[in-house]
Amino acid sequence: MRRSATTLALQAVVVTAIVGGTTAFVSLEKNVTLSVDGQKREVHTFAKTIGDLLERENVSVGARDLVAPRPDEPLSDGSTVVVRYARPLTITIDGQTRKVWVTATNVAEALEQLGVHAERAYISVDRNMPISRSGLRLDIRLPHDVTFLVDGKRVPITTTAATVREALAEAHITLGPKDQTTPVTLDAYPADGAVITVLRIQGKTVTRQEEIPFDVQEIKDSSMFEGEKKVVQEGVEGLKTVTYEFTYVNGQLKSKKKITEKIIREPKPQIVRVGTKENPRSVPGADHLNWRALAECESGGNPDAVNPAGPYYGLYQFDLGTWRSVGGQGKPTDYGWEEQTYRAKLLYKQRGDSPWPVCGKKLYT
């Protein structure tokens, strides 16, 4: 059966429409490469923009994440879309800690992004260690030049040690059990350019005997004139054993600390009788004389002087009989200047200067 020209023409129009529609549909499809944190895959999509592609592929991104090209840019056939998720990095460099965000997937890339040149630095983890999306803590210590002053020498060192103590070990400097450093401690961070002095500290224990001073006890005596004193019991110093700890810093004594003390002998107090009786009145006819000059001549001015030849006692060298003849009690040396002079004046009133044949003339000087 022969088809009419009209039928054939209609069939041609339908075929053309179908082919044209198929061609238009195929032209809307795009073949792109999607890279998420370095993981690539080929995607066939009808998405119009980068953001549309990510939504269709269920790739969620945040404000800190890297998307290239930008999500609002159109998507072209054959494009490569890169997504890098941001990762929190807590990084400590030379003791200074801060939190940053990086889109690197391993430590080496993160250091490059941060501009940290750490070729010779200490890094707490492997440089190739991957960084998960939960982040990572990273400790970096850059090389520092440190100089130690120890035992009279300068010891320079380049170190990435975390503490002065570790740096000393790297420099092969051995510390004693009490040694310290200044101006920073052994546990401080060795800053770049620091000059650190090692203090050699040694302790020495010394035990020695020391005297204990005696106390002086005074007893009031109304039979003695004011100003007169007489020792009735000599004081005796005590004795104790004391142990000290001496601390030397670089050979110089720095401190002394008492550790123990033990008394061997208690001190014995010195007992002194002190006069309270009102001083005697003057002796008319004798007060104007130079009694001090006479005393200097007779005894050198010593109220305790004793000349065994007599014996003679005190400032004016009384013998006991003469002393008692003018009302004196005991011995002249039991009394001070006032009492002895008073009795000497009384003697002068009785006998003039004759009791002092050699020095008597001093009374008139």
Give me the mean pLDDT over the 171-179 stretch. 95
Cis peptide before 267 (omega within 30 of 0): no
pLDDT tops 50 at residue 21: no
Q: Tell me how far apart the alpha carbons of residues 56 and 52 are, in angstroms, rounded to a whole number.
A: 6
Q: Tell me how far apart the alpha carbons of residues 179 and 151 are, in angstroms, rounded to a whole number.
A: 12
Mean pLDDT over each residue of the chain, to the nearest integer:
89
pLDDT tops 80 at residue 16: no
Query: Are the folds of 87-141 and 206-272 the same?
Result: no
Q: Would you state the CATH architecture of domain 87-141?
A: Roll (3.10)
Give me the mean pLDDT over the 60-67 stretch. 93
* Integer angstrom CA distances of residue 262 from 236, 244, 266: 18, 12, 11
User: At 36, which helix (H) or strand (E)?
Assistant: strand 30-36
Give me the mean pLDDT over the 345-363 stretch. 94
Query: Comparing C-alpha atoms, which of 91, 90, 86, 121 is closest to residue 104?
Result: 86
- The residues that bridge with 123 in the sheet, in sequence order, are 140
pLDDT tops 50 at residue 14: no
**Encoded tokens for 348:** 């002068």
Q: Tell me how far apart the alpha carbons of residues 229 and 304 are, in angstroms, rounded to a whole number.
A: 11
Give me the mean pLDDT over the 60-84 stretch. 94
**Encoded tokens for 20:** 């044209």
Q: Would you state the CATH architecture of domain 30-85?
A: Roll (3.10)
pLDDT tops 70 at residue 20: no
Query: What is the torsion angle, in degrees rounded to the nearest 10, for the CA atoms of residue 122, residue 123, residue 124 and residue 128?
Result: -140
Position 268 scores a pLDDT of: 96
The predicted model scores a pTM of 0.51
Amino acid at 214: F
Query: Per residue in 103-133, pLDDT tens?
Result: 999 999 988 888 887 678 888 899 899 999 9
Query: Comparing C-alpha atoms, which of 22, 187, 6 is closest to residue 95?
Result: 187
**Encoded tokens for 27:** 């032209």
Q: Tell me how far apart the alpha carbons of residues 261 and 244 are, in angstroms, rounded to a whole number.
A: 9
* Integer angstrom CA distances of residue 243 from 17, 239, 240, 247, 261: 116, 13, 10, 13, 6
Q: Tell me how far apart the alpha carbons of residues 141 and 146 are, in angstroms, rounded to a whole number.
A: 14
pLDDT-derived band at 25 (thresholds 50, 70, 90) equals: very low
**Encoded tokens for 228:** 């007169």
Query: Comparing C-alpha atoms, which of 135, 138, 115, 116 is closest to residue 126?
Result: 138
Contacts of 156 (CB under 8 A, 6+ apart): 145, 146, 147, 148
Query: Comparing C-alpha atoms, which of 77, 97, 81 is closest to residue 89?
Result: 97
Where do the domains of the chain lie? 30-85, 87-141, 144-199, 206-272, 280-364
Q: Which CATH class is domain 144-199?
A: alpha beta
Domain covering 206-272, topology: Resuscitation-promoting factor rpfb fold (2.20.230)
Query: Per residue in 227-264, pLDDT tens?
Result: 678 899 999 999 999 999 999 999 999 999 999 999 99
Among 193-197, 284-288, 307-311, the range of highest mean pLDDT = 193-197
Of 16-30, 32-46, 154-168, the least confident: 16-30
Helix count and strand count (H, E) for the chain: 7, 20
* Integer angstrom CA distances of residue 183 from 161, 170, 192: 17, 19, 14
Give me the mean pLDDT over the 214-221 stretch. 94
pLDDT tops 70 at residue 210: yes
Query: Per residue in 326-344, pLDDT tens?
Result: 989 899 999 889 889 999 9
pLDDT more than 70, % of the chain: 91
User: b/e per residue, 68-79, with b = 16+ CB within 10 A?
Assistant: eeebeeebeeeb
CATH code for residues 280-364: 1.10.530.10
